[in-house]
Structure 1
Amino acid sequence: MRLLDMTTFAVLVRNRHFGRTAEEMNTTQPAVSSRLAAMEAELGCRLIHRAGSEFRLTPEGEQVLVAFQGVLRSMDLLKASLKNPQHEANVVVRIGAIDSVIATWMPDMVESLHLRMPNLKVELTVESTKRLIYGMNKGEFDLIFAVDPAIGDGFRSFVSCVWQMIWAASPKIVDPDRIHSVDELANMPIITFPKNTPPYRQIAPYFQDEQVLASKLTSSNSLFAIIKMCMDGLGVAAIPSVVIERELGSGLLNPMQVAKRFPPLPIIATYQSSTEQEIILRVVSQAQESARKFCGRVNPSTAWLA
C-alpha cells in the first residue's frame, strides 16, 4: 500500500467529496476513484458506502482509517523529529475534564506527563460535560474526560474509570443509621446539577418521576459547590464517594443509607485520533495508567476500572 493511497483515503474521508479531494491532491477525480478501487481490491473489502448523496465509512473503512492515520502520523513525526529533535516542545495538548476527575487522578497524570515528556505543553481546562463535548466538536480539545462521550469522525472513546455514587448530607439534617426509602428522599431538599445536564439525567430516573424534584431542587454546575451546600445543611446530594472521602472521614458529611442504591457513574474519555496521533496516544496511555494507579489506592468499592 502506497503512502499516496493512504493520504488520498484520509483526505477523501475528511472532504467526503471526490471532486474536492482531487483538487486538494492536485489530481483528477477518476484518479481518486481508481486509488480507492485499488485499495478496496487489495484489502478485499468495501471501505466507503456510496448511495446518491450519502457518503459514509463501512466498519472496515473505520478500521482502515485509524490504521492509515497512524502510519501517516508516524511518518509526519519522523520527518519532524529529523528536522527538529525538540518537536515535542512545539506540541500543546489541550485536556478538558469535569471536576471529579480534577480532584482525583488528574494531578498525577499531569505530573507524570511532565516527567516523561518534559517539553510537552499541557493546557488543562475544568468544565461541565456539555461544555467539554461542545469544545471537542469545535476542535478546542484534544482529550476530554466527561460523563458522556463526544461522537464524530476522528473521535475515539473509552471508559477511563467508574465512580460509585452515594447519597450524602450534613449530620445536621440526616440520621446516618436510618434507611431512607425513595419516597423519603423525594421529600427532602435535593442538590444536584442543572436540568438537561448528564448528571441530572441520572437523578430524575432514580425517582421515576421528574416532577418530584420540581419544588425542592437546588442546582449548581459545580460539584464542589454542591458539596459545600451539602456540608452547610441545605439538602442531600448524590455524589461520587471517592471525591468526598475527607468530608466523610471528618464527619462534615454523612453517607446516607438508602433502600435503593444510586447507579455508578462511568467517566468517559474521548480523544482526537487524527492530530498529533503518536503524542496523543502517549497522553491517553498515561491517563489510563494514572486512573489505574488511583483506583488501586482507594477503596475498591468507591472507584474502579471498567
Structure 2
Amino acid sequence: MDLHQLRCFLAVAEELHFGRAAQRLGMLPSALGRHIRLLEEDLGTRLMNRTTRSVALTDDGACLLEEARALLLQADRLAARFRSGARVQTSVLRVGAIDSAAAGLLPMLLQDFRARHPDVVVQLTEDKTIRLLPRLRSGRLDLAFVRPPEQPDRALDALFLFHETVVVALPADHPLTGRSSLRIEDIADQPVIVPERRSRPHSHDLTMKLFAEAGHQARVAQLAEEKQTIINLVGAGLGVAIVPRWTARMAPPSVRFIPLEGVGGAPVDRLPLAAAWMRGTRDPLRDRMLDTLRDQLARYADQA
C-alpha cells in the first residue's frame, strides 16, 4: 500500500464513479482501476462493490475511507510544511491560474505584489481547475486561482474573489458586432461553440443555462476544451461563444466581444473565481500574496 493507491481509493470513494475520479486525478480509468485492485490485494479485502452502472463501498471500504482521508491530509501538510520552509529561503512562490485569471487578474496582482516584494520569484502555471487542484493538494503549487469546485475540498481553504463578467465572442465580420450589447434572444439562432463539460463545467453549464433561462436551446456547433481554441473557432466563422470578458485579452483581430445583457439589462457575472491553498499550512510567501490580493480586491473586481 502506498499514498498514490490511497489517493486513487479516496477519489473513487468520494465520487463513487470511476470516470469522474479518473478525471479528477488526471489519469485513465483503466489505470485507476488497476491501482484499486492492487490496494485490495495488499490489504487482503474487497473495498468496493462495482458494476457497470454503480460503485458502492463495502464495510471495509467505508472504514478505510476516513482513515485514508486523515492520513493523506497529514502527509500533504507535512510535505507542504517542508516545501514551504525551503521556499522561504529561495523566495519562490508557485502560483496556478485558469486561463482567464492568468490573462486578467494575474497581471494586475503580480504588478502590485512585486512592488511590495521585489525579491520574490513567482512561478506561474496556467491550466484548468481540474488539473490545478491536484497540484495544490500534492504541494506542487502554493496558491491557485480556480473555479471553486461544486463539492468543497476538505484539504483546501478557499477565498471567494468575485464573479467574472461574461461577453459574447463573435467573428469580426458578424452583423451583430455593431451592437453595444446583446441578449440571448439575439444569438438564439446562431451556432454556438461550447466548452466541454468534462474540463470546464462552470463555463459549459453557464452557456446552456443562459439559453434555457431565456426559453431557447443552444445550437451547439462544436465542443472544444481550450479557451484559445474556442476563440480561434469563432474567428474562423464557425459560431459564437459565451466567454469571460478577460478572454478578450488573448483574442486575435478576427474576433469581437460584445457585452451580454442579463435580467433588467444588467451584465451577466456568473463565473465564480476563487483563490485556493492547502488547509492547515503556514506559508509566509503565500500569505503575503493573499494580503496584496485582499487589499486590492475591490479594484480587481471592478475590471473583471
TM-score range, shorter chain: 0.5 to 0.7
* Alpha-carbon displacement from aligned partner over 1:9-59 (angstroms, at most 9, x marks no partner): xxxxxxxxxxxxxxxxxxxxxxxxxxxxxxxxxxxxxxxxxxx99979xxx
Q: 1:279 aligns with which of 282, 285, 288?
A: 285
Distance 1:147 1:123, change over 3 A: same
Stretches of structure 1 lacking an aligned partner (at least 5 in a row): 1-51, 57-68, 81-85
For 2:103, the aligned partner's letter is: A
Displacement of 1:110 in angstroms is: 2.6
CA distance in 2, matches of 1:270, 1:156: 6
Counterpart position of 1:238: 242
Say whether 1:253 aligns with 2:256.
yes
CA distance in 1, matches of 2:133, 2:184: 32
For 1:155, the aligned partner's letter is: L
Distance 1:257 1:92, change over 3 A: closer
Counterpart position of 2:203: 199
* Kept in 1: contact 2:193–2:239 (CA 8 A): yes
The alignment of Structure 1 onto Structure 2 pairs a total of residues equal to 220
Say whether 1:265 aligns with 2:271.
yes
* Kept in 2: contact 1:206–1:262 (CA 8 A): no
CA distance in 2, matches of 1:179, 1:293: 24
Q: 1:221 aligns with which of 218, 221, 225?
A: 225
* Kept in 2: contact 1:92–1:121 (CA 8 A): yes
3-state SS of 2:280 partner: coil
CA distance in 1, matches of 2:132, 2:251: 28
3-state SS of 1:139 partner: coil
Counterpart position of 1:139: 139
CA distance in 1, matches of 2:87, 2:172: 54
Counterpart position of 1:168: 169
CA distance in 2, matches of 1:113, 1:180: 36
* Kept in 1: contact 2:94–2:143 (CA 8 A): yes
3-state SS of 1:233 partner: coil
Distance 1:89 1:186, change over 3 A: same
Distance 1:212 1:293, change over 3 A: closer
For 1:286, the aligned partner's letter is: T
* Kept in 2: contact 1:129–1:198 (CA 8 A): no
Q: Percent identity?
A: 19
Stretches of structure 2 lacking an aligned partner (at least 5 in a row): 1-62, 68-76
Q: 1:188 aligns with which of 187, 190, 196?
A: 190
**Where in structure 2 are the equivalents of 1:55-70 lying within 5 Å?**
none
* Kept in 2: contact 1:162–1:267 (CA 8 A): yes
Counterpart position of 2:39: none
CA distance in 2, matches of 1:219, 1:266: 21
Displacement of 1:165 in angstroms is: 0.9
User: How does the TM-score come out when normalised to structure 1?
Assistant: 0.57
* Alpha-carbon displacement from aligned partner over 1:217-256 (angstroms, at most 9, x marks no partner): 32333323322322332211112224427979x8941526
* Kept in 2: contact 1:273–1:280 (CA 8 A): no
Distance 1:275 1:186, change over 3 A: same
